[in-house]
Structure 1
Amino acid sequence: MKTSKIFVEGIVQGVGFRPNIYRIAIKNNIKGYVKNQGNVVEIVAQGSKKDSDKFIQELVDEKPPVAKINSVKTEEIANEKEYISFEILKSSSEVSGSSVIPPDLAVCDNCLNEMRDKSNFRYNYPFIACTDCGPRFTVIKDIPYDRENTTMDEFPLCEECIEEYTNPLDRRYHAEATCCDKCGPLLRLYNSNSKEYIITDKPKYISTSKEIVKKAAHLLDVGNILAIKGIGGTHLVASVTDKKTSKTLRKCLNRLNQPFAVMSPDIETIETYAKLSENEKNSLKSIERPIVVVKKSKDYYFEDSVAPVLHNIGVMLPYSPFHHMLFEHTDSPAYIMTSANIPGEPMMIENKDIMENLSKIADYFLLHNRKIVNRCDDSVIRYVNNHPSFIRRSRGYAPSPYNISKYTTNKNILALGPELDVTFAIVKEGLCYISQHIGNTNKFKTYQFLQEAITHLMNITATKEYDIIACDMHPQFFTTKLAHELREIYNCPVTTVQHHHAHGAVLGYDNNIDEFVFIAADGVGYGEDHSAWGGEIFYTNMDSFERLGSLIPQKMPGGDISTKYPIRMLTSILKQEYDENKLKSLLIADYKDYFQYGEAEIDNVLKQLNSDLNVGTSTSTGRILDSISVALGICGERTYEGECSMKLESIAIKGDNSLEIPYEIKKENKIPRLDTSKLLKEVIELKKSGEKIANIGKASQIALSKGLSEIAIEIAEKTGVKTIGGTGGVFYNEAISKTIKDNVESNGYKFIQHKNSCAGDGSLSLGQAIIASKRI
């Protein structure tokens, strides 16, 4: 007789792991027990050597579909006790290991079939869930992941549900979100005066979910805006084909141009208005259910205001039961689904806040009475060079950890990310847990959300202290200031990490490589020389980095205002190539309307540039793309992040290859730099000559890409490395990324890009954590 104690770490809570172990044990004549012990699953298995070995193998090979096993540690123990059966024991509050509960997952097919089965007692119940699907991260309050530690503790199970919940052979055994309309959360429909909208003459709370959802679909289809509380937050929902409604939504939210994401019932419907690759289809149908940015088709028929000017649109499939129910009661091909939040602030999750703050936007409110502990925005993916790149890694993925044990010893690390597109990371026992999307910490409520989310993730990872805290090098970021405040609390050092070094570390981790050259192309990152970087070529071995090439530095008159109004940046760039009087005449004749204050502002900007008063410098690729966009008359004001360059990409994709714009690489102190002033002058001259805007846009992107890749190839040759990568938000641009990839590979080098992380700032905390790990 052999007795083994087994500890399994990974995503093994809330996924039916213990009942699965129970079934495998019974099948293999194993006696003993299984239980959650804080952050791991502990198993004692007693049986013959043959049965025990088979049991241990099958617990890995036959794990539940949602489970992920990071490690299995087995030790043989003395047979001090003979077990007579195999049991599932009550969870322990003791903490061991570094596991975590899984993220929220889309409703599974089994639950959907039950929800649509008239003979099933959960027929048309919009909160149906089991161990394979439903909310996890958004409802957990504490560990271990048991019902009493979730917001479901407010809903005692009825007799039918508890029978399933306590049966180890049932798929809902300890499915903590399980419930039905007798014992679980319910929907309510309110009008904008916060008064419950009675669907039938039945008493309050009795109107069936089907009637409520059917009424909600009808209200949407006749032109109303609804606030719908979901799993991790609230969406504002509207018709995609009603011009008045979508414009009203834009005006109310003050999102004049920012594209809205949409939800459609199925892949076939999406293909009536968008082009999908097989990879995109697979991501859309995955259990994580992200928003996927796809190309509009030639038959695209939504209102222009849904995704103005852009050639692509963010789409997703239903992931909650009531999303599916909604589409069962409408012929609409899609609904706008945009986060319900005040711009820059977190999504609303409290019913009272939703109704009070959105009463002037939403006509009706479809709400439920299950509390959300952790708000969690939709994840967003875009395929670039046939590889997925996260724009936002959140619902469906967070807080699933990355394994960075190759970089770190057994130390606890907190990494706080940048400032605008913030996630944070906690490293414990070699696993790096990345938070959900936090957002812009310049906003007070978002900064509060960041601190609350840190406390909560510490709680569910059983992290009590830190050995080091990592943050961005920028001294004015709120995350940098928070790092120094937390240093005093946890009595540990703070290490600052250069923005693009962190980008490079994520890229290296994603591709399992330590030494390479990479192009960092984005909007801005605080440089070691205290200027704004964003068009750089680095060599790195992960431990350190060298900046060995860049775009030429350009002045930014007025600092950050040049990012909002790129005509100011264009003026600075062209000043290197044009006589001041000629430049002024050009600006007055062709670009005066892009200046807030017309001709007077043109004079002021030129004076600023001459005096260097309130003028910073930048090598940002994002600023160059914005300048090309305004130079071509495509976009003269940034109303959302990346707007000008995104619209440039969408116009340029229509261009042909008839133009080639020359570029020049200068050497400054032996450092190669791409001359962007000459590039912009060529753009202006081509526009004046009457060339097509789309062709100029395409040629300018290619010239910029070839210039950056040529410098990277030169540096790779000098440093002797064989791999060149691309990181930063500019690498979401398909044309730029492909041109750089093709140029790198045609010169005999391997090109790497992001695969399971964000090219933009959303994964910066992961890079900071890796670098801090190596510094320890």
Structure 2
Amino acid sequence: MRGVLHVTGIVQGVGFRPFVYRLAQKHKLNGFVLNMGNFGVKIEVESEKETVQAFIKELQETYPRIARIDNIEIEWKDMTSKYSKFEILKSIKRPGDLIVLPPDVAICDDCLVDFNDPKMYPTRYYRYPFIACSVCGPRYTTVVDLPYDRPLTTMEKFPFCEDCAREYQDPNDRRYHAQTYACQVCGPQFSLHNNEGGIIKTEDPFLESVNVLNEGKILALMGIGGVHLVCKPEDDIVLELRRRKRKRKYKPFAVMSPSIEKIRTFATITPLEEKFLTSFRRPILLLQQNEDFYLSEEIAPGLSNIGVFLPYSGIQYLLFQKYDFPALIMTSGNISNLPMAIVRENVVKELRSLADFFLLHDRPIYQRVDDSVVRILGDKPAIIRRSRGYVPEHIDIPFDTKDYEVIAFGPELHSTGSVLKKSRCFPTQHIGDVTSLELLDFLESSVSHLMKLLRIETPNAIVCDMNPVFLSTQLAKRKAQEYGCRLYQIQHHHAHLLGLMAEYDLKPEDEIIGIALDGVGYGREGEVWGGEIFHAKYQKFDSLAQLQPQSMPGGDRCVYYPVRMLAAMLSNQLSYDELKELINKNYFEGLPHRENELKVLINQLKTKNNLFYTSGMGRVLDALSALLHVCYERTYEGEPAIRLEHYAMRGDKNALDFKIPIVIGKKIWINTSTLLLQALNYLEEGKNPQDIAASAQYALAKKITEVAIDLAKDYGIRRIGFSGGVAYNAAITLAIKNEVEAAKLNFLQHHKVPPGDAGVSIGQGIFGAINSLQNSSL
């Protein structure tokens, strides 16, 4: 029989055709394999039907780890006997193909064997930092344009040596048609520099780099998609790195460790966490510190977890072969509010104030791509930063977007952009906080690169946030004028929920009750939202309930100094004299300007001059954090709430009873001032503050969910979703999940799209597509 197979998924640029070739040889089949671009791979094989079936079974079970098979269509036909051997036919490309390029992939086990074996390839691959093959190594960071061929990557400047050229042409070699590999003879090389840019003459730049690390110096290490700042995880060295980075006063650093066994010496690892740590994506994973944690506490001050990742290239493995400590700090090499340095000639100049030495290579980085960050919540991953190892993989849109092409420019913080085409949404890599012109340029260039790869010249629509002051909003308006296309603006939390709905394959007619909890989002009428319960569909939404709006005296100053938020929330429950006495007695340290600041604060609360209000869950958690003396100053995004979560882990969520009333009006209000007053009373009674933290968090999560469940029943809806930055809080997420499932309703929890602002551009893109479809039918 002749089996005709059509395989779709991620099956190009992943070593799939050589894999099929070797498998066909193993089963002694004749026929061919053909790459059809975005339309997948076609395979024809002839033999006895049982033999072909065995081939198909093994193909489904053993395909390359970075491939993804979405579907295999099999058609049985009569044998033709026209094939005398099995061949890899020349690829065909059709107009309108989409990206089939996989992300940058961690070094595979086979390459690691070659890397460590001095006998197999002693002069070519042994300890060569750029070792790669058809199933591993850099992809997106090197691609200038498509098709994905070496001349259109940054490896173009490194012609193959004779041995590499032979391997490239051999279908039985795992480097067959691998575009970004090379060897010691013909590939990129490293050199060590001082912080004036001068080359340090040494036979082994990696050994010399380890020597300077052991001396307590900070090293800038150029890698696959950018530069890491590297140092030993010791108190005085970490504090020096914080001093140099200035705006990293308490923000945690990630550490890299050479093996799972080494990580277990300072952190706990569940089987699911190990699966993510060792995956080809190699994200930074947030792990619980174990009881024997011995690294510097300055790595993650006030937290019980630590960001850890494994080496993902020969570059890092080579460093650890010469360094005998279980971990190194590895943090992004950038100045605050600037993109990560990537141009070799500029790295020293840009990072001279941060690093003492520079270990740089001569392979250009075309796209800067930061490390991805993931946290496991229950049995699902929550993606905090979706970047290296994920980009440019798409998110499927569960309805036909026809030929509409949409560009989304994201929010302001933790931003990404997105490009939508043919029912696929392609998010950019992590951009960061778009609060400077340099980061705005990075956002624009990252979106433009995806547009080039997707062959989009003029989009049908551009989408952005409703907040008029965001630089990304201003960019979107400018681009809409430039392209002469429609501009859509979507409310921040609606965008959060649309990304979640797409993850669960919901159709345009489907609806959910959506809980959106975060720090801030521009409301429909310019309000500051952040603690909302919505009735949501793709095209529209209604806010049905929210946390009690609270005043923010001093505006954003409340975000940075949460004692101000605490005072505002308690001003609804205490007299101004009682409030002044409380702050003076217990929270004076939380006001940088002490008596003068307290006087102005109380006066503003009394007169209500220039106050605006927020329903943000983040501000409630900040106030609770200040109340319990956990955190008085925010030095990085979400710090008071994050520290509160870890503080609460040592408490009993059922230890104390909190009664949280609701007020029913045009929409339901959940009274958070009462929560704060009860917490204060418990504290004054001498109750365990960690129990107060755990119980208050739990009670508020339960009350929000109780309201959402009642609304779901009222509307006859079976699905309740949870999105927003607070969805990274494990205790709150699991409390909401358990309550929803106990009510026999379906709980929608992110696992592909980031719950935080990194996922907003995906929801924006979906909104642009569905509105384009609607307007086309008018």
Aligning the two structures, in what range does the TM-score lie when normalised by the shorter sequence?
over 0.9
Say whether the 8 Å CA contact 1:2–1:52 is kept in structure 2: no
Report how far residue 619 of structure 1 moved. Answer: 0.2
Deviations 1:157-204 (A, max 9, x none): 0001110011122110111111011100111111222111122xxxxx
What's the secondary structure of 2:280's corresponding residue?
A: coil
Deviates more, 1:611-620 or 1:272-281: 611-620
Letter in 1 for 2:34: V
> Within 5 Å, which residues of 2 pair with 1:454-603?
454-513=447-506, 514-603=510-599
> Within 5 Å, which residues of 2 pair with 1:609-648?
609-648=605-644
Report how far residue 524 of structure 1 moved. Answer: 0.9
Say whether the 8 Å CA contact 1:11–1:99 is kept in structure 2: no
Distance (Å, rounded) in 2 between the aligned partners of 1:32 and 1:388: 39
Deviations 1:374-396 (A, max 9, x none): 11111111111231110111110
> Within 5 Å, which residues of 2 pair with 1:111-122?
111-121=111-121, 122=125
Report how far residue 725 of structure 1 moved. Answer: 2.3
Distance (Å, rounded) in 2 between the aligned partners of 1:720 and 1:331: 60
Say whether the 8 Å CA contact 2:225–2:342 is kept in structure 1: yes
Say whether the 8 Å CA contact 1:9–1:99 is kept in structure 2: no
Which residue of 259, 273, 283 corresponds with 1:280? 273
Distance (Å, rounded) in 1 between the aligned partners of 2:353 and 2:148: 39
Q: Match of 1:676?
A: 672
Deviates more, 1:508-517 or 1:253-262: 508-517
Distance (Å, rounded) in 1 between the aligned partners of 2:386 and 2:526: 30
Q: Match of 1:243?
A: 235
Letter in 2 for 1:385: G
Report how far residue 670 of structure 1 moved. Answer: 5.0
Q: Match of 2:442?
A: 449
Distance (Å, rounded) in 1 between the aligned partners of 2:314 and 2:343: 20
Q: Match of 2:427?
A: 434
Deviations 1:222-258 (A, max 9, x none): 3111110111111101111x22111100100011100
Report how far residue 642 of structure 1 moved. Answer: 0.8
Say whether the 8 Å CA contact 2:401–2:421 is kept in structure 1: no
Q: Match of 2:127?
A: 124
Distance (Å, rounded) in 2 between the aligned partners of 1:69 and 1:477: 40
Report how far residue 71 of structure 1 moved. Answer: 6.2
> Within 5 Å, which residues of 2 pair with 1:298-377?
298-377=291-370
Change (3 A) 1:11 1:535: same
Deviations 1:303-336 (A, max 9, x none): 1111101011111111111211222222211000
Q: Match of 2:776?
A: none
Report how far residue 493 of structure 1 moved. Answer: 0.8
Change (3 A) 1:410 1:3: farther
Letter in 2 for 1:738: L
Deviates more, 1:388-397 or 1:117-126: 117-126
Distance (Å, rounded) in 1 between the aligned partners of 2:620 and 2:172: 61
What's the secondary structure of 2:515's corresponding residue?
A: strand
Distance (Å, rounded) in 1 between the aligned partners of 2:474 and 2:682: 47
What's the secondary structure of 1:520's corresponding residue?
A: strand
Deviations 1:279-307 (A, max 9, x none): 11111011110111011111111111111
Deviations 1:750-771 (A, max 9, x none): 3231122211111111222223
> Within 5 Å, which residues of 2 pair with 1:173-192?
173-192=176-195
Say whether the 8 Å CA contact 1:709–1:744 is kept in structure 2: yes
Change (3 A) 1:611 1:196: same
What's the secondary structure of 1:615's corresponding residue?
A: coil
> Within 5 Å, which residues of 2 pair with 1:88-99?
88=88, 95-99=95-99
Say whether the 8 Å CA contact 2:408–2:764 is kept in structure 1: yes
Change (3 A) 1:219 1:435: same
Any gaps of 5 or more consecutive residues in structure 2? 774-778
Deviations 1:712-731 (A, max 9, x none): 12212211222322211112
Which residue of 758, 764, 768 corresponds with 1:772? 768
Q: Match of 1:146?
A: 149
Report how far residue 648 of structure 1 moved. Answer: 0.8
Q: Match of 2:283?
A: 290
Change (3 A) 1:76 1:485: farther
State the TM-score, normalized to the length of structure 2.
0.92
Letter in 2 for 1:115: F
Distance (Å, rounded) in 2 between the aligned partners of 1:653 and 1:76: 58
Report how far residue 35 of structure 1 moved. Answer: 5.0
Deviates more, 1:215-224 or 1:144-153: 215-224
Q: Match of 1:202?
A: none
Change (3 A) 1:487 1:698: same
Report how far residue 20 of structure 1 moved. Answer: 3.5
Change (3 A) 1:577 1:405: closer
What's the secondary structure of 1:274's corresponding residue?
A: coil
Report how far residue 75 of structure 1 moved. Answer: 11
Deviates more, 1:212-221 or 1:358-367: 212-221
Say whether the 8 Å CA contact 1:382–1:388 is kept in structure 2: yes
What's the secondary structure of 1:294's corresponding residue?
A: strand
Report how far residue 468 of structure 1 moved. Answer: 1.7
Q: Match of 2:251?
A: 258
- Report % sequence identity: 40
Which residue of 373, 387, 390 corresponds with 1:394? 387
Letter in 2 for 1:116: N
Distance (Å, rounded) in 1 between the aligned partners of 2:729 and 2:3: 57
Q: Match of 1:194?
A: 197
Deviates more, 1:386-395 or 1:489-498: 489-498
Report how far residue 58 of structure 1 moved. Answer: 8.0
Q: Match of 2:601?
A: 605
Deviations 1:633-665 (A, max 9, x none): 111111101100111111111113564242333
Say whether the 8 Å CA contact 1:226–1:363 is kept in structure 2: yes
Change (3 A) 1:256 1:3: closer
Which residue of 403, 410, 418 corresponds with 2:411? 418
Change (3 A) 1:485 1:654: same
State the TM-score, normalized to the length of structure 1.
0.92
Change (3 A) 1:692 1:43: closer
Change (3 A) 1:42 1:597: same
Change (3 A) 1:384 1:76: closer
Distance (Å, rounded) in 2 between the aligned partners of 1:152 and 1:700: 55
**Residue 17 of structure 1 pairs with residue 20 of structure 2:** no
**Residue 727 of structure 1 pairs with residue 723 of structure 2:** yes
Which residue of 377, 384, 402 corresponds with 1:409? 402
Letter in 1 for 2:714: K
Change (3 A) 1:309 1:358: same
Any gaps of 5 or more consecutive residues in structure 1? 200-206
What's the secondary structure of 2:612's corresponding residue?
A: strand
Report how far residue 261 of structure 1 moved. Answer: 0.5
Report how far residue 491 of structure 1 moved. Answer: 2.4
Distance (Å, rounded) in 2 between the aligned partners of 1:462 and 1:15: 22
Change (3 A) 1:548 1:456: same
Letter in 2 for 1:317: L
Distance (Å, rounded) in 2 between the aligned partners of 1:30 and 1:494: 54
